[in-house]
Amino acid sequence: MTAGVAVPTGPRYLRLREEVLEYLWQEFPSHCIMMTDPQTRRVIDLAAGRAAAHGFTAAGQVCSWITMMVFCGAFFDEDPLCPWASETLRATSGQSRDDALRSLFEAMNTALDPVVGQTGEHYRRALLWAMALRFDTIAADREESPDQAVERWLRTGFPEKHASLTREQMSLLASEAQARALQFGLAVRPGAILCALLMALLGIHIDRDPLYAWVGDVLRDDSVLDPMAKTKRLHDRAIAMLRRHLVVERYSQPE
């Protein structure tokens, strides 16, 4: 069982898992390096289970599903900031699974292209901005309400993402970030801001996304009781992982 989704077993599934693993290494080597092999296989198990829940069971279909996970977060199909996914799945429920996947990819590209950029330039710039973001700068933020602060930070660091969100989605992002901060012992203003920025960059379900298991590891670590200290630990880990990702991505690109 992976994240509440039943994972098939047996020789046929093991062959499918190896096909998807090979695909991931070909298409997203930096993610595989960052996650390591055991975690990569757990991500594949989750992808296979969630894809199967929508009728996508062939290896190629699971590869397509896991591609969308990489781009939009492991739980993109239930992420309220990615409404195109659930809407398309409902609209294509009676279609062939290959046609449904094509519709999903079209919907994803339509939604993501203005946000991340044709070559990912907007997203990459947002990552570089986040990497340069000092914790004491976030901690010193005292100007307006937490909701307004979340919106200002997102508008500053990832304006394309901010522009893509409706007022209702922006409010939902802020409230979800505050709820996670409270749930995991980061119940201070910087904790909510940091959670919101991570949700905007990685997907709203950061606390249970196996693609970024380090987030959940920090959030569930009860050894640090002070909320500000725990928020700083999450910030430090995020910066370290981001720097590592950029280095790995640079050296894993084909020449």
Q: Where do the structural domains in the chain lie, given as residue ranges? A: 11-116, 121-252
Q: pLDDT for 74-88, tens place per residue?
A: 999 999 999 999 999
Planar angle of CA 67, 68, 69, nearest 5 degrees: 90
Q: Does the structure show a pLDDT above 50 at 169?
A: yes
- What kind and span of H or E run contains 175? helix 167-183
Q: Which is higher by pLDDT, 250 or 208?
A: 208
Mean pLDDT of 87-111: 97
Q: How confident is the model at residue 147 (pLDDT cuts 50, 70, 90)?
A: confident
Kindly tell me the burial class for residue 191, based on how many C-beta atoms sit within 10 Å of its own C-beta (0-12, 13-18, 19 or more): buried
Q: How confident is the model at residue 145 (pLDDT cuts 50, 70, 90)?
A: confident
Q: Residue 5 has what pLDDT?
A: 56
Task: Work out the percent of the chain whose per-residue pLDDT is above 90.
Answer: 87
Q: Which residues pair with 5 in a beta bridge?
A: 2
Q: How confident is the model at residue 2 (pLDDT cuts 50, 70, 90)?
A: very low
Q: Are 158 and 121 in contact (CB under 8 A)?
A: no
The Cα 26–Cα 246 span in angstroms is: 18
Q: How confident is the model at residue 1 (pLDDT cuts 50, 70, 90)?
A: very low
Q: pLDDT for 194-215, tens place per residue?
A: 999 999 999 999 999 999 999 9
Q: pTM (2 decimals)?
A: 0.91
3-state secondary structure at position 8:
coil
Q: Residue 47 has what pLDDT?
A: 96
